[in-house]
Structure formats: C-alpha cells, structure tokens
Amino acid sequence: MQEVVSQLNIVKYCRGYGLSIWQCPQFLFLVMGLIIILTSIGSYLIGSSYITDPSLVALIVIIITGVLFIISYIITRSFERLAEASRMKSEFINIVSHQLRSPITNIKWIADFLTSEDVEIADNKKDEYYTHLKENISRMVELIDDLLIVSKIEEGSFPLKKTKSSLNDLVYEVIERSKAFAEVCNIKIVFNPKESLPSAFFDPNLIKLVVENLIDNAIRYTKKGGRVEIETECRKNRLYFSIKDNGVGIPKQDQKYIFGKFFRAENAMRNQTKGSGLGLYIAKSIIIKSGGRIWFDSEANKGTTFHFLIPTK
C-alpha cells in the first residue's frame, strides 16, 4: 500500500529526474489526462446545450487537439532530456572508471613490485617508486575533488564566499605552484598585469580554481618549448583575465562543446590521454555563478586564448 502511495508522489519522481515539474513526464501525463477528462465533460455539456451549432463543437475539438499536441511535444522533449541524461551518466561512469583505474593500476603494480619477494630493488631506487605512488594518489584525489565540485554545481549547493581579494596576487600564487609542471613541459609562463589591479570582492578559492584549470590546460596542451601569456586588467567595474597559449588549439567542430561536462576535444585526447573533461565545465560554472562571463578564441594548431570577466563587487 505504502509503495502504491509513494508511486503517486509525482513531485518526488520529478526531483529524482532532476527536472522541473513542467518538464516532468509523469506530471505532464497527469495534466494531459485532466485536460482530456475536463474537456470531455465540457464538450458534453456544451454539446447538449448548443448542439444546434456544430462549428462551435469543431472549434473546441481543434483547441483540445492543439493543447494535446503541445503537451505531447513537451513530453517527447522531456523523454529526450532523460535519455540524454542517461547517456551522460553512462559516459560519466566510463570516463570516471577509466580515469580512476589508471592511477589505481599504477599504485597496485608499484606496491606489487616493491613487495615482490623474488625481486631485489636498491634502496635509492625505491624513492622513485614512492614518488610515483604519491603522484598517483594525488591524481585520484584531484579527480574525486573535481567530481565533488561537479556534484555540488548540479545540486546548486555551491555557496559563493566573496571576500576582498587581489586577482594579481592569486594569479602569481597559481603560477608559482605551476612552475614545476611548466618546467617539466619546457613551457614559459609570462604574466603581464597591465596595471596594478584594485582589490575586488570575489570568492578567491573558486576563482583560484578557475585560474588553476586554465593555466594547467594551457601548459598541458602546448608543445614543448611553448609559451603561455597571462594578462589582467580592470575594465570599468570588472576584472579581466586572459591566458594565451600557442598550443594545439581547439578544432572548429569541437568549439561549441568545449565548456560541456566530460567533453574533451579530439586533438586534446590525441595529445594528452589523461584528463576528465571537467576543468572547463567547472570554470564556466564558477564564472557564471560569480556574475561574470568566460569565452575563448582558438585556431587548431595555432593556439587558444581564454578570457574571463568578473564583477569587482
């Protein structure tokens, strides 16, 4: 009995799908059913009173057909969205399982190797393997952190904690932290703050995440010996940030999907097999939440420039 009652709880179902009530198939079916019942009764009452005028009945039938047609269209669209959500979920599981499996395999095999009784490893060689262990554990932590952020974005539980902060200091800090990675990849990072930016009110932790993602991508997708240029300036009541690289660029056909969740451009996957396709989705969500705008210019094999603007207050 309780199960039957719970099945009637349409709002719960719609929440489960992550759709608004007007996009939820169960609710729309209920509305359609009600319209059919009400209009049948209405048609009967009108028909019994005004049967002498058949054009009025015809008009009512046309209106009802039109309304049902619109509702059917909305229901079809809702199913399409659900199917798309299901496809994205499968894709999500595929990507996450592959991305998590790689560091897990690394850890498993290194542990296997270090504990093999029939293999002797010199103590000084062991340090290298410990470093690999640490790197792979960090990789897993980073992926899980990204997934938690995405989950918060989707739930809408993503509070903005604005404090008086300096964008330039934040950029310097991220560059400092990325230096080792840039050096390994032989990439030069140049930061040109055009003017000393005034302090502004934004969430420094979230904007740092955006800057980290953009700098990390620029290094990752630029060939050895490449150059990454960062600029900041104040534009009216907004802070402007741009990052330009001379890397692989984003092919035209992939550009409209680049801020999509789990999307990775075809040439990006060819050059760099690691990556979850979450960085730019997170960056865009944060910038929009901060009341700003993010965009890019790119040409395949020439490079990409990402820009964002955020309000100073």
Going by C-alpha positions, the residue among 308, 260, 284 that lies closest to residue 158 is: 284
Output the smallest distance, CB 90 to another protein, in A.
Answer: 11
Q: Look-up: residue for tokens 């619109």?
A: 70
Residue 213 CB contacts under 8 Å (≥ 6 apart), including other chains: 279, 280, 282, 283
Round to whole Å and give the CA distance between 187 and 293: 27
49 binds another protein (CB under 8 A): no
74 vs 100 by CB, closer to another protein: 100
Q: At what angle do helices 10-17 and 25-50 cross, to 10 degrees?
A: 130
135 binds another protein (CB under 8 A): yes
Q: Which of 105, 151, 163, 205 binds another protein (CB under 8 A)?
A: 105
Q: What is the closest distance, in whole angstroms, from the C-beta atom of residue 99 to another protein in the complex?
A: 9
CB half-sphere exposure, 291, CA atoms < 13 A: 12
Among 23, 43, 102, 166, binds another protein (CB under 8 A): 102
Nearer to another protein, 209 or 268 (CB): 268
Task: Write the single-letter amino acid at 87.
Answer: R
Give, in order, the Cα–Cα distances in Å from 131 to each of 38, 105, 180.
71, 15, 15
Q: Quick check: 136 binds another protein (CB under 8 A)?
A: yes
* Contact track, another protein, 253-282, x by CB under 8 A: -----------------xxxx---------
Q: Which residues of the chain form contacts with another protein (CB under 8 A)?
A: 94, 98, 101-102, 104-106, 108-110, 112-113, 116, 119-121, 128-129, 132, 135-136, 270-273
